[in-house]
Structure 1
Amino acid sequence: MKRRTFLASSLALAAAGPAAAQAIRLPAGADPENTLVIELKDGPVIIRLRPDLAPKHVERIKTLARQGFYNGIVFHRVIEGFMAQTGDPQGTGMGGSPLPNLPAEFSREPFVRGTLGMARSQSPNSANSQFFIMFAEGSFLNGQYTVFGNVVSGMEAVDKIKRGNPAANGTVTQPDRMVRVRVAADIR
């Protein structure tokens, strides 16, 4: 697999347009194949994917990103001091992708600020396309949900995601969206 250097990645982003070139920079040493770029209204969020912890979940996220599945999907559940959840094409928290559910890949990796975890129903083997980004530490999730990545840049944009109604379990009226989600290796 060919890795691009930081300079080559920056040049490729410059060709994508001035906003992308100004805002998206991969950290030194980042593996573009295992780096996700989530473009939000307030800026890009760079995610280091963790195939060492959850190879099936990372592969699913990359597959859906490459299909354009996540583009335009809302953050339907956002709870202050906890997390922002997205990945449901229906925007209700009840939907998923047409792909089959994934078996749990729980690990000892803690849920801290910037951790990405897969959402699921009561069944541990029900993760599909929905995921969440932690605003703060959530040790009560440790070992109960699959960790598949962490924010390495752009947490300030995550912090600006519109919060939901606490009385409605974080349901958001007129929610913010993921503008575009891409695997960094695919950005030209």
Structure 2
Amino acid sequence: MQTKLQNWLVCLLVITMFALVGCNSQPETSAAPTGSPTPSPSTPATSSPTATTLPRLEGKATVVMTVKGAPITMELDGTSAPITAGNFVDLVNRKVYDGLVFHRVVREPQPFVVQGGDPQSKNPNVPLDRLGTGGFIDPATQQPRDIPLEITPRDAKEPIYSRTFREAGVNVPPKLRHTRGAVAMARSQSPDSASSQFYVALADLQFLDGDYAVFGYVTQGMETVDKIQQGDRIESAKVTQGLENLKGGSASPAASPSASPSPSPTTSP
């Protein structure tokens, strides 16, 4: 029995690597473009070098994503994950996710995740096996937008940025855990490489806690998530509540008027 359990854990860890990081470990096939600065060992655990230039969600927001003609309601937590949730709300408001594909679905040997959000997938001519390498390109700057790893420990007032809990020496669970229905950001091996790709946990995946940033939960429509197949498209995504809590994004008065509603499909990370 112990041998079978060990084999299962090894298998699950391998699946995790492929499901959340990308097709392989080479930079050109990472889950999102890299580019965010890597912090030095002396960087404070709560300091984020890009935090002041990114959208933030100050409070809660609700996003309704339509897949297979059915709504999936997500409640996003900007209190515990302000940059991660703010980035997602901003991309939803820009219509970035409309028409994108769920390119990775893992249910065997156990339910794991459904993952989507690669802007390349809006182009039907991009092969499915190439997806998982793209991220959001800001149309105002033509530069990739990567966000830092942002996880708030339980009972802490501030998130830890750019480090996993293991790297930061944190031995408590995060406030937002990988329970079934958790919505979190996919990234490459670099902690600050999340961009637009996200995943929904199909089961409790608490071994991912402290390594990947959860920023909300599916509150209605999990039965639709359970039916998602590889290649299914997001028909639409809309912020239905809390858009006024987005600061510095496309809904902010300070947002650039030249920003287009959605990015062009990328051809390389």
What is the TM-score normalised by the length of structure 1?
0.73
1:83 paired residue number: 113
**Contact 1:71–1:178 under 8 Å retained in 2:** yes
Contact between 1:56 and 1:102, CA under 8 Å: does it hold in 2?
Answer: yes
Tell me if the contact between 2:118 and 2:135 (Cα under 8 Å) persists in the aligned partners.
yes
Aligned with 1:95 (options 134, 138, 141): 134
2:233 is matched with which residue: 161, 172, 177?
177
Structure 1 unaligned regions, length at least 5: 1-31, 163-171
Give the counterpart letter for 2:239 in structure 1: V
The structural deviation recorded for 1:42 is 4.5
Q: For 2:120, what is the secondary structure of its paired residue?
A: coil
TM-superposed CA distance for 1:52, in Å, is 1.4
Give, as a single letter, the amino acid of the residue that structure 1 aligns with 2:181: G
Residues 119 and 131 in structure 1, CA contact (< 8 A), matched pair in contact too: yes
SS at match of 2:150: coil
Query: How many residues get paired?
Result: 144
* Amino acid paired to 1:48: E
CA distance in 2, matches of 1:102, 1:127: 5
3-state SS in 1 of match to 2:133: coil
Question: Where does structure 1 differ by over 6 angstroms across 4 or more consecutive aligned residues?
Answer: none
Maintained 8 Å contact 1:53/1:147: no
Alpha-carbon offset, residue 57 of structure 1: 1.1
- C-alpha displacement at 1:58, in angstroms? 1.0
Question: How many angstroms does 1:62 deviate by?
Answer: 1.0
Contact 1:78 1:85 in 2 (8 A): yes
**Where does residue 63 of structure 2 map in the other structure?**
36
| 2:207 aligned counterpart, secondary structure | helix
**1:43-71 alpha-carbon deviations (Å, 9 max, x no partner):** 10000001112101111111111111000
Q: Max radius of gyration: which structure?
A: 2
The separation in 2 between residues aligned to 1:67 and 1:48, in whole angstroms, is 18
CA RMSD, Structure 1 to Structure 2 (Å): 1.5
Secondary structure of 1:72's partner? coil
Match of 1:131 in 2: 198
Partner residue of 2:74 out of 38, 47, 54 = 47
AA of the residue aligned to 2:151: F
The answer to whether the aligner puts 1:67 opposite 2:94 as a matched pair is yes
Report if aligned partners of 1:42, 1:160 keep a CA contact under 8 Å in 2.
no
Matching of residue 148 in structure 1 with residue 204 in structure 2: no
| Cα distance in 2 between the residues matched to 1:33 and 1:102 | 19
Task: Provide Cα deviations, 1:99-158, integer angstroms capped at 9, x if missing partner.
Answer: 421011123022010000100000111111000001101112100000110011000110
Q: CA deviation at 1:90?
A: 1.5
Unaligned runs of 5+ in 2: 1-58, 122-130, 139-144, 153-173, 244-269
Query: SS at 2:232's partner residue?
Result: coil
Equivalent position of 2:187 in the other structure: 120
In structure 2, C-alpha distance between the alignment counterparts of 1:88 and 1:65, rounded to whole Å: 13
